[in-house]
Homo-oligomer: A and B are copies of this chain.
Amino acid sequence: MVVKSEIKHIKSLQQKKYRIQNGLFVVEGIKTVSELLQSSFSPYKIYSTDESLLTGIPVEKAIVSASELKKMSSLQNPNKVLGVFHIPRAVPPVFKDWILVLDALKDPGNLGTIIRLCDWFGIRHLVCSPDTADCYNPKVLQATMGSIARVNVVYEVLDSLLERPEVPVYGAFMDGRPVYGQSLPAAGMLVMGNEAHGISAAVSEKVKHRIGIPQYGDQRTESLNVAMATAILLNEIRRPTQR
């Protein structure tokens, strides 16, 4: 049983403004909540309709009714457990492996998928321009499937990052040089652009290596979805150079 103001508070965390104000975000579903509980994320409070699911969880918790959970949830069919966690302090990216950089990526589903791809390919640091979708948006978290626990997502202005001398800067362009012909270094930054407009002009200037994925079909195909292109390029970065 929770009071109305608490439900309202949790519901408000669906908006970025209130997430920032409170330093809190919400994840839903047994799997994601337990992954976050086992990670370095710090829990604030866990809610569940099922008492047994809360047993042994050593954090503040409450049993709620199905209708209370529905009121707190961003899902049409809430999934038994809802967790509120503290937004972690961002850690500066480390330049000894590849870092993925997103320039104004807007779609929460794409961002969630890309976080999951980073996790799969062991990319530990994801830097997003401030106008990229918020990684604590419920739709993003839903799409990450818990991978948010293993990828350090940092929001910062890209200009000075891309001027860092430690590693070369690569970027994906429709007319970029085919990635297949290149021997990629062991560490670098890979910039992926906005869904509709690609990498912005200002950011493009800082990209030294313009790479692309050759198209094999009809020229009318507009472009690969940015998440698909990211999947292919991260695979190219990680795959052994010879087969």
Contacts and interface: CB of A to CB of B under 8 A. Distances in A.
A153 B85 CA distance: 45
Contact of A120 (B150, B216, B235, B242): B216
Interface in A94-143: 113, 116-123
A89 interface: no
Could you say which of A120, A123, A146 has the most chain B C-beta atoms within 10 Å of its C-beta?
A120
B243 A120 contact: no
Nearest to A242: B242
A222 interface: yes
A186 to B, nearest CB: 13
A221 B183 contact: no
A122 B218 CA distance: 7
Given A217-B150, A232-B231, A235-B232, A224 B120 contact: yes
A197 interface: no
Q: Binding site of A, secondary structure by majority: helix, strand, loop or mixed?
A: loop
Interface in A184-243: 213-218, 220-222, 224-225, 227-228, 231-232, 235-236, 238-243
Contacts of A122: 215-218
A217 B119 contact: yes
Contacts of A48: none
A181 B122 CA distance: 20
A91 to B, nearest CB: 17
Copies of the chain in the assembly: 2
Interface centre among A180, A181, A240, A243 (most CB of B within 10 A): A243
A228 B147 CA distance: 15
Contacts of A117: 224, 228
A52 interface: no
A231 B224 CA distance: 9
A107 to B, nearest CB: 12
Contacts of A147: 221
A243 B182 contact: yes
Contact of A243 (B180, B218, B220): B180
11 contacts: A116-B228, A118-B217, A119-B221, A120-B216, A120-B221, A120-B224, A122-B217, A146-B220, A183-B243, A231-B231, A232-B232
